[in-house]
Amino acid sequence: MKPSPIPPNCPQLNHEKLDSYRVSVEFLAITAAVLDKFPRGFSQTADQLQRASLSISLNIAEGYGKRTTPDRVKFYGIARGSAHECGAIFDSLKILNIVDDSTYLQGKTLLHRVVSMLVRMGA
């Protein structure tokens, strides 16, 4: 993973301390690297991957900021759905030989971790 562009002395919001959030951001970094290498003709898939991968961390953050458990669970559920969507996109990219074995395994491992955590969080 690339070093974080956020300075180490930058204040953190509480959601940034969640492991699920950190793993989702790590997956987002992998997605950014994959998107840089996307072949022509797959712009819709690239757009879908970009939006879904960003949705995971955004919904975890938004859910954490909600005051009631049902509201939190709703956003964690959306994040979980986006993670599953990214998993399906990664499967497609592997079948189409757009991602290599190492990137595929790394991405799917992170997605499995974040989904497992979100399930434990009530999603």
Instruction: For the chain, list the domains and their CATH numbers.
Output: 40-120 (1.20.1440.60)
Cα gap 99→95, rounded to integer Å: 9
The 10s digit of each residue's pLDDT in 62-111 is 999 999 999 999 999 999 999 999 999 999 999 999 999 999 999 999 99
Residue 123 carries which DSSP code?
-
pTM of the model: 0.90
Q: How confident is the model at residue 7 (pLDDT cuts 50, 70, 90)?
A: confident
Q: Say yes or no to pLDDT of 3 above 90.
A: no
Assign 3-class secondary structure to 3-36.
CCCCCCCCCCCHHHHCHHHHHHHHHHHHHHHHHH
Q: Is 40 exposed, middle or buried (0-12, 13-18, 19+ CB in 10 A)?
A: exposed
Within 13 A of 27's CA, how many CA atoms are on the CB side? 34
Among the listed residues 65, 69, 111, 67, the one whose alpha carbon sits nearest the alpha carbon of residue 88 = 111
